[in-house]
Chain A
């Protein structure tokens, strides 16, 4: 491997951190909803604990420090000494946000986030401000070899002379995954002996001789005979973090304390040495280091099978006691690697491109087969049809690879809500729906900013203060709902609040004051609502730190439109406001209208077309010496000749009978584009022009048609901005 392996391990640690943070947020949200069961609390605890453990291995001291203190408080919660109060939940959320900042800071080697000390103090105040005890953590991995005596490895007596007739026997058999994940049986054994005097016996019967020994595998098992009867829960707690990777069994009563006789002949020189490489692999913190994944399939079944065979009959490999742990352990190594695969985005993009090629190629093939004049039910034609279906399916599946659930995006918004509500002193609850809805990765990335802005707006402007809410007979806590769903081939994301709704008289007044509309304009409610999207509009009485920086909803709208989306607003006074964003599922394909202009084929995005019409001479009115407008539904719309604007031809002398596309721009202005013919409506694969050529005014991108020719995809808004508008004066000699 050419690159630094440590850097890769580090990178995968941070990827893992993101996943842990996500599950941390999930579990906290569940707790917030009222589920205080141990499992949820354990998830929270484990997430923080695992981050701390990993961070320790990379010497990320600030992160370790924060996580450790956070964990200490969570431990109190886990042990039931701390109650889950709303205040505590707020702090836990805040600390989780800060933990995320710490992780980011550690990853980008940036400065530690501010305010973490304050937050920690508040947290520790919950548990009485007890100084954090420095404990020897199981996850604090110094590479440490197990020191076995070669001839006497069965006797690892850590607790003094053992007495017979003990009350409890615990047998454990670590799997290879335990070592691979950087755990260490010695720590477990030490933790066990801390529970009471015990005699520990190592079972080496499975140890093969040196020639056949696989250093990645686990061959040793131990049994611990306690003199007393330690509490079962205490015993199980020792295995909290390794229960997936270590079989153990607890037997109360009086088992024969005599360990199975060890045949020293089986144990050659390799015994001690062989175990060391495993033990020293303690730096790998990850559930599946590449090695482990590779070796997993090779794993001989014999290793898994004698799961708890350390007890009376080590020879019997049948997992008779199919305990929960056993089942879990057997399933875990098989299912974990197959659950998800991390793939470089470039590779997926290459695949998407190739499949796009395949689709085009298939269309070309179909065309030439059709031209060859074969009968429609010939074998070639039917085969081609099946091929066509297959390529469609492949294209859909490949597009799905790029799709990701919106959940991480929504979680980010949850944080925005917490911060924003804290800043303006409102009580806000974010409710999310449809988190599993999948959208193209690029769409998700580019949606973050507009959505953040909208959420802040909702908190700042949408919701009332607690006092006003109470006065209006609502709960003091405002609710913002963020939902996502698929609707007819698009994704609809809605942000709604249960606030006061849009104050229409005020909005209208502001628009008049700012000179955005004439004072005497008559506007419908919907039209007033849409004034919010005008550039330079801000309704907040005071410019707060949150919103109202002059960057308004117009920016949000143009961001959404650049994604090929639309945003609409509905509001009901006293009940709330709802913003609805409708987005295409992917940015790789686009619904377009294929038109022909001056012999060239062009694609106009369907999202920008309002309607198509055939002109009559009466519709066209001349405006300036070279320009025309058309009269459509009571409004005058400027007329542009696409052929002339793109330099394909000169303006025609007459547009009578011509076909126009009526398009709407972002600011609501309409324009009419003259085309020669409308060919079809279809999905086209978008190919960028920027990289190979550069920006062309009025052209958004290119696509490849079924015949292999390239067609340009227009950007009507850009086109109109750069347009001359010449639709007359054909006699004038135009340059070019």
Chain B
């Protein structure tokens, strides 16, 4: 296992170098932010020259690339106030790392919450569907799974906003939290309120976007669980468990489910990039200021260093996510041994 881990981690290094080269070339192809700054009448050309010099943009492409990669590695492993994955064009005075760290909590709550919720909802429905294959419950579950999988998130989000926000007034339609919260009989600023009130308020605001993302996720997880469970309940060892006199609940929970969850557990590792990457469309619909929105703004606004930093993080998470999936697989299944 240790040899396997070391080998995989070493393999990640050349891969990330190749990925970074592709990211750098693709994003610098669409023009660099310095020339955009030159067109800004409020910025003096001399300052742009200094900035270009500081970021080595007056040197040939390989040196630019190398310096950017060095900056990325240094500010990842030795973060200081002065560095941080490059400057931001759209948010002057700040850097890519500060921007990303600022958007990350919301995205973690949104995507992490919806993935967790979809798994919690989907796995029991998947098990039920498998145990009652082609029965009424299975058909209803399967219908909703496909309904969720084929529903466009922007349309479903807008429908939820109309029904639960505008008509019923149950949930807020956009934003991340209220400005003022009631505390001790009076309204206080959100950040001055007790943490529990803040948490409840945030959960209330998150309810609709998390519902949208969960509905999209439930279908997939439910179908995975169902097919995995269907395969397992026909196995000989499930019959053996019945033959030794185990009650049906033990047969299903202990003998079938444990085996059926192995592929599901490994899939969890692969959701890692999705948790950080954010949900561009849903964040846009609900006016949430998370990673998805930042990515969109950075790419469209030619905010090169921010966009490159986000793509680098996403790529790293894909690589580490599949490594995590392999590790989880070995943990869940004793037959799997890496050497």
Task: Tell whether A pairs with B.
Answer: no
